[in-house]
Amino acid sequence: MAEMVMPLEMAENETLIEQEATAIERIKQIRPLLGDDVVILGHHYQRDEVVQFADFQGDSYQLSREGAKVDAKYIVFAGVHFMAESAVVLGRDDQAVILPNMQAGCSMADMANLEQVLTAWSELEDVLMDDPENQVMPITYMNSAADLKAFVGEHGGAVCTSSNAQGVLEWSFAQRQKVFFFPDQHLGRNTGKKMGIPLEQMVLWNPFKPYGGLTDDEIRNARIILWRGHCSVHQQFRPEHIDLWKRHHPDVNVVVHPECMMEVVDKADYVGSTSYIVKMIENAPAGSKWAVGTEMHLVNRLKNQHPDKMVELLSPFSCLCSTMYRISPLDLANVLENLTEGRVINQIFVPEDVKRNAKLALDRMLTIPK
């Protein structure tokens, strides 16, 4: 098998576009050689040049479900670091999860670390310890490091994604009075608001201030304590963008991701995860108009796939997830080529104790009805 594979050597004078074209051709040659040993999972935000090779494409929730079912020896995750970590947690011990580019992280996930969350938790316990009727459930968004998922698992909580956040919050409130939600304030606030929780009962925890910058009363009266984190891509969409679209195209439909700020979500016609957005556009009638508030690679793909509909990015500026973008066809070719030669590179590892507790939180999520 290995002798059929030509090494991935780039001519020195090739431009990046030419190098990527060469890499794409290499992937087309190599991929069949690896057969069922490899499964490539791709998030909707990946560039077309990469996601075209995905055996399964989906949103974070679908990819974690799919990842848990995969039988292959190698799972190549064309997504970001926290997604690959979740695949390790849900996968078997004899499977290797590979992230084609180790720099593909998530700026939102980086906005909360274990030390900060442990500090916050002990401060919350300090304020609430005399009040057994006012207990907190930790809930972490999928977009978080595995050690935070483990913390949540160990403390009875669950992971949520943008497609099941309401179900997970309902599950939480059935057991405890409050939710401590990290790291995305917007998903937490938008979901809480949809459930009818008043804004004044959703307080913002600033991890850089003692007690999150909140008074004891604010903590005691809160239903949801929201971590001060956000997605740098979705935060770029503004309510004014919706006004502009509606002014020029009164018949436009606005659909946005729930990582957008509340003022945008409130003005949008539809709100949902990336898969929700994909289905919405797929099922829309020909001739309909859509302004979409999510990552631009997905929006451009939808625009190209549906030339009979008007599909445009909600913002006049590029909204690109620069970390997802770090995975290039060169990276994918590189990891696959190494696999054909029996070398596993860029494998993602999660320590055993973290894996065990993170699995509790992910398994709970997977059993909560959407």
Binds 365: which of ligand 13P, ligand SF4, none (CB < 5-8 Å by kind): none
162 binds, among ligand SF4, ligand 13P, none (CB under 5 to 8 A by kind): ligand 13P
Residue 116's binding partner among ligand SF4, ligand 13P, none (Cβ under 5 to 8 angstroms by kind) is: none
Other CB atoms within 10 A of residue 5 CB = 15
Judged by DSSP in three states, 238 sits in coil
CB 49, min distance to ligand SF4, A:
18
Beta-bridge partner residues of 203: 225
- If the CB atoms of residues 29 and 232 are measured against ligand SF4, the closer one turns out to be 232
Q: Which residues of 46-65 are buried (b: 16+ CB within 10 A; e: fewer)?
A: bbebbbebbbebbbbbbbbe
* Site residues for ligand SF4 per CB under 6 A: 80, 106-108, 143, 231-233, 295, 321, 323-324
Residue, CB closest to ligand 13P: 59
Per the CB < 8 A criterion, the answer to whether 323 and 106 are in contact is yes
- Rounded Cα gap, residues 228 and 206, in angstroms: 5
Between residues 95 and 235, which has the closer beta carbon with respect to ligand SF4? 235
Nearest approach in angstroms of CB 256 to ligand SF4 is 13
- Distance from C-alpha of 128 to C-alpha of 86, rounded to nearest angstrom: 31
Give least dist CB 144 to ligand 13P, A: 11
Nearest approach, Cβ of 19 to ligand 13P (angstroms)? 27
Residues near ligand 13P (CB under 6 A) are: 59-61, 106, 143, 161-163, 231, 259, 273-274
Decide: 220 and 214 in contact? Cβ < 8 Å: no
Interacting partner of 59 out of ligand SF4, ligand 13P, none (Cβ under 5 to 8 A depending on kind): ligand 13P
* Residue of 249, 254, 230, 227 lying closest to 315 (CA atoms): 254
